Structures are given as C-alpha cells and as structure tokens.
Chain A
Amino acid sequence: MSLGHATPATGELSTARRAVQPVRRHQLFHQPSRTAFWIWGSAVMAALGIVWFGVTALEFANPYFLPSPGAVWTAGYEMASTGQLWADTSESMRRIVIGFLISTALALPIGLLMGSVGRFEAALEPFIDFVRYMPAVAFVPLTIVWFGVDEGQKYSIIFIGTFFQQALMIMDNVKRTPLDYVRVGETLGLGTTKLLRRIVLPSSGPAIWDTLRISFGWAWTWLVVAELVAARDGLGQRIVVSQRYFDTDRIFFLIGLIGVIGLVLDQLFKIAGRALFRWSSTERG
C-alpha cells in the first residue's frame, strides 16, 4: 500500500458516491461545483447588468437618480485619467492597511491569551463584549474631537470597528484547540509559551486567518465611513465631493470600485490562506 495508490482509490470512491446521489430525495447541502459557481454566479450578475442597461437605455429612470452603465464608465475613466482616482485609491489603501495592522497586532496576542488563559478571559471578555455593542459610527464625533480630521481619526474608527470583534473571534478560534493536542505537548514537558507557540497557534491558524479575512471586510467598510464623514481625500471623501456636484455617475463608479477592491482583497486573503494552511483543506476532506 502506498500513497500513490491512495489517490486514484479515493477518486474512484468519489465517482461512486456521485453515481449514487440521484437516489437522494432532497437537494440540501450539496456542495456546488466550481463550474456551477461560475455559471450561476455570472448569470445572475449578467442578468442584473442587462436590467440596468435596459432600464437606462429606455429612459425609464432619470439619469440623475440612475445613470446608465456607459455614463458610469465614462465618469470613472475621467477620474482615472486625471490621476485623481489612483491618488484616492492608494490613500484609502494605505489607511486600511495601517488601521487593520494596528488592530490585528493587538487583537492577535490578546485574543490568543483570552482563549487560552482563563484569567485573561475573565478580565477582558465582559469589557470587550460591552464595547462591541457600541456602534463604531457613534464614535465618529468623538474621534474628531480627539484627532481632528487627521489620519489618527481614520485609524481609530477602523480600530474601534474591528479590534473588539477580532479579539473575541480569535479567542473563540483559539478555544477550539483540541485539549488532547495540548495534553500531548504537556506530556513532552512544554511550558506555557511553547504550548501556545507550537500547538495552540498553529492549530487555530486557519480559523484565525478566516477571522482576519472577515474582519478585513468590516475594516474596509469602517474606513469608507470615516472618509465619508471627514477627510481631505480617499474614495469615501470623493463620494461626498461628487454628491456636492451632483455627479451621481461618479458615485456609482466609486461605490462599485469599493466593492470590487473589497472582493479582490477577500480573494487574495483566501488564496494566501490556502497556500499557508494547505493541511487544513485536506483535513476537511
């Protein structure tokens, strides 16, 4: 018996399983195939695009409320050609990266300790849970009082909106470390630090990465919120300026761009996660 033989064998197994599937009486919990994802996903997007195009081409809607796809594209092209779009995008990216890193750098050790050392959990969980339920937007006026409209204000909104969630989620990820893994480490005579570094952290790595991916999405939203309220530049601020000049087509383009950037970053997180934690995907079978 060797691994070389194992792979075709499991291949046969899965085709056999597929052949049996029609016997099932329901359609629940079938994992869609990659092709199904592409076909259905792009069909829905295309359908919505066609509706949008149709509605504007037939002038059902006032272009001030709903600009046509062409107008939106042209507005985007204009902003890009002056270099302004790139400047705003890179400014927003810089803010999100710094804000997210500050938040993560603190949430990671704190979440790790809360998940593994009872005293930390007891001390911090009630407080963090409390702050977590205060909406980050409600802090905007306060952050402006503290930081003005400087960069610090952007970071602090990202931090308030991200850190507390991250810490709690990482705590939860860490808690799911199987007790027996830790016991193995104990029988080898490992102390607290080594147990955390060699067993708890790697074991909860994939889940923590997922937490980071999800919380990055939230951080992105908080950044735009912060920029909408007070900033000199950035994608969020550009939306506010466009509104002032009644450039609805620009607003459409910017909102779309923010979504696309978020989607791309999310995919990058996923790809990096798969590369970093290759063992985890095989673990799930």
Chain B
Amino acid sequence: MSAVRIVNVTKTYTTRSGRTQALSPINVSFRPDEFTAILGTSGCGKSTLLHIVAGLEQPSTGHIEVNGTAVSGPGRDRGMVFQNYTLFPWLTVQQNVEFALRDLPMSRRKRHDQAREYLGLVGMEAFAAAHPSELSGGMRQRVAIARALSYQPRVLLMDEPFGALDAQTRQGMQMLLTRVWEEHRMSVLFVTHDIEEAVCLSDRVIVMSRRPGAIKADLAIDIPRPRGIDTLTSAELNGYKAELLQLIREEADDAQTAASAKRAG
C-alpha cells in the first residue's frame, strides 16, 4: 500500500486579481520507505502540492490518501518542515520539540525523554535549554526536523527546508538528513529546486513542469546506500544531474518562449 496517494489533484487560486491555476491534474503515489524529491522551477506549484498533502490547503478537485484512507485536513500521520524558520521563539529548544508531543497520552517524563532522544538524533541535545534566537539557521532547521519526527508521522513533508542556508551548512544538513533517514526509513516528500540536492538525497525524483504544475518526469535514482559525502562527487550523481538539468532547462526555455511570444503578440 502506498504511504501517500495523490489522486486527480488540481488547484486553482481565486484572488481579487483573477484566477491562477497552480496545479494541473496530478496523479502519483509514494511508497512507505521511499525518499522522493519534488523538483521544479520557482512558482510551479511545489509548495501548493505539499500544502495540499499536509492538509493545510484544500485541492480544487481530487483528493489525498494517506495509508489508503482519504484525508481532508492536517493530521499527525504527516509531519512538516517549513522553508521559513518556524520554531516558536518563546519556547526553548526542548520545549519546542515537546510542543509536538503535548496532547499524546504519555507521562511528562516520557515526553521529556522522547523529545531529548530526537534532539540527539539531529545532534542538538546540547542546546536543549537554548532559545531559537540563540541558534544559527542550520541549527534551527535541525530542531524543526526533530520536532517533525518526534511524534513519528508516517510521512515527512519538507518544503525547501535548506533553502535559506549557505552552501556549506546545506551540505552538512543533507548528510545529516541522509543518515537520519537511512536509520529510520519512512516516506519523505522533499521539495527543492536544487538538482544536486534532489539527486543526492533521494530514491526518486519527480520533475514538475512550470505552472500550472504537472508531473513532467519521474526518475528512479539508483545510487547505493548508505550514501555519504562521496556521493556528491560520484559519476552516477553527475549522470542524473545532467539528465535532470536537461529536463529543467526545457521548462525554463518553454517559459521564455512563451513569455517572448506574449510580448510579441
């Protein structure tokens, strides 16, 4: 059974300035232990798609299934890491993770320990008592990952979580995520517009066409695990990169042709 199934999902936003179709019909499913990257140019509807899967946004048509059951709103079977820093500044790092466990039937002691355990997983237990404002961007995202994992969702949704980080930190975070995922296999939907990031992290890369976003390509990434820093320089990675680059460039070219045609016409 698939962890997530996206069935005939489309999305059209209606605003004062008119209607924007963000997604054309999308049909795709994700296996329970699969790490999938969703790759696409800016504005193609990646966040929209992820928000729909998270239940934060309603699709205009179609529906989402999680573990075979249709869902219509957010739920604890899905965890989300956002592009922006979303740790609560009024809570400490420890309390931020415990926040996600608050309504679960467990003792205080257990909640504390479980939060601590996940902070350990991302190497942040030394900062348990710190407030988010004392942390660097990479550290904040590590805590956000711990928070999303702490309640053990079936599916982890990540919307360009490393987008705001510098190249060096970003690479460190990719390695960390790879290690965590290889230990705790689960379904991950990872949105990015960075081709290298998509390939080095995932088992599968889905390329979206420009707006209204549709699935343009669905590529299996056969790079053996465990992966490490060497993966980034491997011949396989470069092969996939070239292929994806070609696909993405077609999208960008199309966009340009369309734009100049519009200008001419």
Contact = CB atoms under 8 A, between A and B. Distances in A.
Interface of A: 2-3, 6, 178, 180-181, 183-184, 186-190, 194, 198-199, 202-203, 205, 277, 279-280, 282-283, 285
B88 A203 contact: yes
Of the listed residues B82, B84, B90, the one surrounded by the most CB atoms of chain A closer than 10 A to its CB is B90
10 contacts: A180-B82, A180-B86, A181-B86, A186-B74, A187-B80, A188-B99, A279-B89, A282-B131, A283-B89, A285-B133
Nearest to B148: A187
A285 B134 CA distance: 9
Given A194-B103, A198-B99, 11 more contacts: A3-B127, A181-B86, A181-B88, A186-B56, A186-B74, A187-B56, A188-B76, A189-B103, A282-B131, A282-B134, A283-B133
B133 A282 contact: yes
A189 B89 CA distance: 20
A283 B133 CA distance: 5
A-B interface, 9 closest residue pairs, ranked by CB to CB distance from nearest: A187-B80, A180-B86, A282-B133, A186-B74, A283-B133, A279-B90, A202-B90, A187-B74, A283-B89
A80 B251 CA distance: 83
B251 to A, nearest CB: 28
A188 B97 CA distance: 12
Interface in B100-140: 100, 102-103, 126-127, 130-131, 133-134
B78 interface: yes
B199 interface: no
A6 B134 contact: yes
B36 to A, nearest CB: 19
Interface residues of B, number: 27
Contacts of A202: 88, 90
B143 interface: no
Contact of B79 (A6, A181, A187, A277): A187
B3 interface: no
Given A183-B56, A283-B133, A188 B100 contact: yes
Contacts of B127: 3
Contacts of A190: 103
Contacts of A283: 89, 133
A150 to B, nearest CB: 42
A194 B103 CA distance: 10
Chain A at the B interface: SS class? helix
A82 to B, nearest CB: 49
A6 B76 CA distance: 36
A93 to B, nearest CB: 31
B62 interface: no
Contact of B131 (A183, A186, A279, A285): A279
Given A2-B126, A186-B56, A199-B88, A279 B133 contact: yes
Contact of B90 (A183, A184, A277): A277
B128 to A, nearest CB: 11
Interface in B51-92: 54-56, 74-76, 78-80, 82, 84, 86, 88-91
Contacts of B80: 183-184, 187
B90 A203 contact: yes
Nearest to B147: A184
Contacts of A285: 133
B111 to A, nearest CB: 14
Contacts of B79: 187
A180 B160 CA distance: 14
A282 B75 CA distance: 33
A187 B78 CA distance: 7
Given A188-B100, A203-B90, A205-B90, A3 B130 contact: yes
Contacts of B55: 186-187
A198 B56 CA distance: 18
B90 A189 contact: no
Contacts of B103: 189-190, 194
Contacts of A186: 55-56, 74
B89 A180 contact: no
A189 B100 CA distance: 10
B120 to A, nearest CB: 16
Contacts of B76: 188-189
A176 to B, nearest CB: 13
Contacts of B91: 279
A120 B200 CA distance: 49
Nearest to B100: A188
Of the listed residues A180, A184, A285, the one surrounded by the most CB atoms of chain B closer than 10 A to its CB is A184
Contacts of A277: 90
A124 to B, nearest CB: 23
Nearest to A190: B103
A3 B131 CA distance: 11
Contacts of B54: 187
A213 B65 CA distance: 50
